[in-house]
């Protein structure tokens, strides 16, 4: 099994552990660099938005956080599908390592969204499709983490959590469209979330750089977390014993 495909080789925790360890500093450094560049462009160079004044600068964290919160959920669902289909040990660990970061991103997206909404629309919260779906996404993250934490046997936890992730992936679009439809019928909030189309090039670059920063950051944190989970789960195997007798790297 181990030598048949490369992917199987790196799907084995003993091979992935040192690889992940070697990658962490690179992703962390990339996150810092992209972050500095993005902040410089976004906070110092980018011009004032003609509609929203300086308040729009929240976009430089709000949009990347929202993107990451959704993207991380999709990645977790991808790992869940792999894990359920091929029964690889690594998949469940990856999903679990990503979940807290995804939940934090969803929280950040809601937090910055509220702080953006207050000055722009005069309210902290609207029951708009995007906001509501983001809130539900946060619930799905919390539900996943709670379910995995409640099951003692890690294999069972991986499988049950994976199934929940897949069910969630099917449901997120349904929830999004149902809330959207509900919202347009209610027409309660006279607020449109569509952004002004004339986005300056510097703003766009700032946002993309910040998105890259969040991306690298999430990978780095998830890799550290997955390494911890690996040690914990495989503590009775030879490779963990050898690793522990070394310096844990």
Partner 1 sequence: MLRIVTAVVARDLRLAMRRQADIVSALFFFIIVVSLFPLGIGPEPDLLRKLAPGVLWVAALLATMLSLPRLFADDHRDGTLEQLALAPHPLGLVVTGKVIAHWLVSGLPLAVLAPVLGLQFDLSTEALVVLTASILIGTPALSGIGGIGAALTLGLRGGGVLLSLLVLPLYIPVLIFGAGAVDATVSGLGGEAHLSLLAALTLAALGFAPWAAAAALRIALE
Partner 2 sequence: MLEADNLECVRGERRLFAGVGFRLEGGELLYLQGRNGAGKTSLLRMLIGLLPPEAGEIRWRGVPIRQAGDDFRAELCYLGHLNAIKEELTPLENLLAAARLADEELSEDEVLDALEQVGLAGREDLACKYLSQGQKRRVALARLVKERRPLWVLDEPFVALDVAAVDWLAGLISAHLQRGGLAVMTTHQAVAIPAGTVRELRLS
Partner 3 sequence: MIHWNSFSEFLAMGGYGLYVWGSFGVTALILAVEPIVVARNRNNTIARLKRQLRAERRITE
Question: Residue 93 interacts with partner 3 (CB under 8 A)?
Answer: no
For the bound state, the minimum distance from the C-beta of residue 236 to partner 2, rounded and expressed in Å, comes to 6
Question: Residue 241 interacts with partner 2 (CB under 8 A)?
Answer: no
For the bound state, the minimum distance from the C-beta of residue 220 to partner 1, rounded and expressed in Å, comes to 29
Residue 246 in tokens = 């070394």
Rounded Cα distance between 208 and 234, Å, is 38
Question: Residue 111 interacts with partner 3 (CB under 8 A)?
Answer: yes
At residue 199, the 3 state secondary structure works out as coil
Task: Answer positive or negative: Cα dihedral of 230, 232, 238, 244.
Answer: positive
Please list the residues that pair with 49 across neighbouring strands. Answer: 53
| Alpha helix positions (H), the chain | 6-11, 13-39, 59-86, 89-121, 129-150, 154-186, 201-233, 238-245
The one among 11, 20, 61, 209 contacting partner 3 by CB under 8 A: 61
The one among 3, 153, 245, 247 contacting partner 2 by CB under 8 A: 153
The one among 2, 48, 87, 171 contacting partner 3 by CB under 8 A: 48
Between 133 and 243, whose beta carbon lies closer to partner 1? 133
Rounded Cα distance between 42 and 59, Å, is 9
Q: Which spans of this chain sit near partner 3 (rule: CB under 8 A)?
A: 28, 43-48, 53-55, 57-58, 61-62, 65, 100-101, 104, 107-108, 111-112, 115-116, 118-119, 217, 220-221, 224-225, 227-228, 231-232, 235, 240-241, 244-245, 248
């Amino acid at each position: 099994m181990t030598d048949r495909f490369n992917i199987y080789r790196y799907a084995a925790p003993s091979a992935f552990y040192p690889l992940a360890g070697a990658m962490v500093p690179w992703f962390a450094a990339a996150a810092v660099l992209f972050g500095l560049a993005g902040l410089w462009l976004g906070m110092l160079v980018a011009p004032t938005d003609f509609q929203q004044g300086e308040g729009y600068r929240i976009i430089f964290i709000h949009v990347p956080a929202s993107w990451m919160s959704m993207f991380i959920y999709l990645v977790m669902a991808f790992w869940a599908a792999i894990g359920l289909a091929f029964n690889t040990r690594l998949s469940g660990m990856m999903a679990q390592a990503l979940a807290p970061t995804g939940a934090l991103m969803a929280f950040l997206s809601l937090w910055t969204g509220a702080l953006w909404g207050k000055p722009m629309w005069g309210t902290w919260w609207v029951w708009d499709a995007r906001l509501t779906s983001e809130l539900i996404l946060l619930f799905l993250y919390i539900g996943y983490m709670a379910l995995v934490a409640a099951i003692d046997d890690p294999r069972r936890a991986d499988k049950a959590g994976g199934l929940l992730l897949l069910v969630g992936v099917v449901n997120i679009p349904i929830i999004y469209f149902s809330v959207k439809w509900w919202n347009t019928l209610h027409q309660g909030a006279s607020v449109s979330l569509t952004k002004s189309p004339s986005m300056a090039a510097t703003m766009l670059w700032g946002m993309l750089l910040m998105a890259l920063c969040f991306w690298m950051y999430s990978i780095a944190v998830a890799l550290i977390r997955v390494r911890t989970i690996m040690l914990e789960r495989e503590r009775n195997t030879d490779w963990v014993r050898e690793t522990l007798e070394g310096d844990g790297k």
